[in-house]
Structure 1
Amino acid sequence: MAIRELCQNDLPEVLDIERQGYSFPWNESIFRGCFRPDYRLWALEVGDRLSGYAVVAYMADEAHLLNLCVATGQRRLGAGRCLLRHLVAESAQDGMSQVLLEVRDSNTRAMDLYASEGFSVIGRRPGYYPGGTEREDALVMALPLDDRSAFPGPP
């Protein structure tokens, strides 16, 4: 596994992974809007194939993880953890005080991953995510980056 900066040429593959991963995927214009100086976009490659990505917005001294998705064939193999560790380490190196994220209340696999990497639930956003007939709550999770030397790089 290797991580590099995501580029706009990656968008066709990103959109394919996004559609595999989410019932309500981001569209191309949302991704294009993330290519700005206050965002960090990461691509995970396995072999020579794009297999995942992460989108992080830097706001003041906080890194807000907006989207992390892994291709179906790479799930449960450490790819998401690798991306998460990379973006946490980069956020710490860039002087951010914490990483924040929202996760669907029903996405227990993602919550378990985040908790295993030190994130804790700090709040709830009612009706945050679109759903079938009703909207779904998001849990807000945070990871303080006080001791920047304590964060490992990718596994």
Structure 2
Amino acid sequence: MSVAPPVHAPMTTDDLDAVTALEASLQAFPWSRGNFADSLLAGHDVRVCRSGSDLIGFAVVMPVLDEAHLLNIGVDRRYQGQGHGARLLQRVIDDARAGGAQRLLLEVRCSNRQAIAFYQRFGFARIGLRRGYYPATAGREDALVFDKELQ
């Protein structure tokens, strides 16, 4: 799919419906509209990536003192495999670093091998395990905790 150069911008309340719909298309247990709205209200770094009027992706980062925590990131399946996720994650890393974060943390489902490999390509390293962190069709699924030093 050919697209105009993507534009990264802060998410606004006008983006909530589109971001919630995108999240629902990507996840079996998606964030709700309220989760995204709460992140906006809390002052998290909530960003969207667009090409024209098309929503390509989004990212939600919670700054905490000298750390940043990537809470959620997603790219529309139609745009996956074209480097948009890599550019969005690099933007998250750059913004966290510019905001004074010394490291960036995230969780990923143990079963999500594609995401694990993606984060490792960016220099994230596994530092822990959160048991029963994610909802799953049969109970709960563990999460791997990754971090990346930024400074």
TM-score range relative to shorter protein = over 0.9
- Within the alignment, does 1:133 sit opposite 2:138 as a pair? yes
The 3 A distance-change label for structure 1 pair 97 and 38 is farther
Q: Match for residue 50 of structure 1?
A: 55
What TM-score comes out, normalization by structure 2 length?
A: 0.93
Structure 1 unpaired stretches of 5+: 147-155
1:107-118 matches, cutoff 5 A: 107-118=112-123
Determine whether 1:124 maps to 2:123: no
Considering only aligned residues, what root-mean-square deviation do their CA atoms show, in Å?
Answer: 1.0
Deviation of the 1:76 alpha carbon: 1.6
Equivalent residue, structure 1, for 2:79: 74
**Local SS of the residue matching 1:128:** strand
Distance 2:23 2:127 in 1: 27
In 2: Cα distance, 1:115 partner to 1:36 partner = 31
Instruction: Identify if the C-alpha distance between structure 1 residues 60 and 84 changes in structure 2 by more than 3 Å, giving closer, same or farther.
Output: same
Q: Deviations over 1:20-47 (max 9, x none)?
A: 1100011111111001354101101123
Describe the SS at the equivalent of 2:119. Answer: helix
1:112 is matched by which residue type in structure 2?
A: A
The share of aligned pairs that are identical, in percent, is 36
Q: Does 1:90 align with 2:92?
A: no
Paired residue for 1:151? none
How many equivalent residue pairs?
146
Of 44, 48, 63, 2:68 maps to 63
Report the alpha carbon displacement of residue 134 of structure 1 after superposing the two structures with TM.
2.1
Q: SS of the residue aligned with 2:31? A: coil
Report the more deviating stretch, 84-93 or 32-41: 32-41
Corresponding residue number in structure 1 for 2:11: 6
Q: Which stretch shifts more, 70-79 or 37-46?
A: 37-46
Any gaps of 5 or more consecutive residues in structure 2? Answer: 1-5
Report the AA paired with residue 93 of structure 2.
V
The DSSP-based 3-state class of the residue aligned with 2:111 is: coil
4+ runs of 1 displaced by more than 3 Å?
none
Q: Which moved more, 1:28-37 or 1:119-128?
A: 28-37
Larger mean CA deviation between 128-137 and 33-42 belongs to: 33-42
Distance 1:3 1:44 in 2: 4
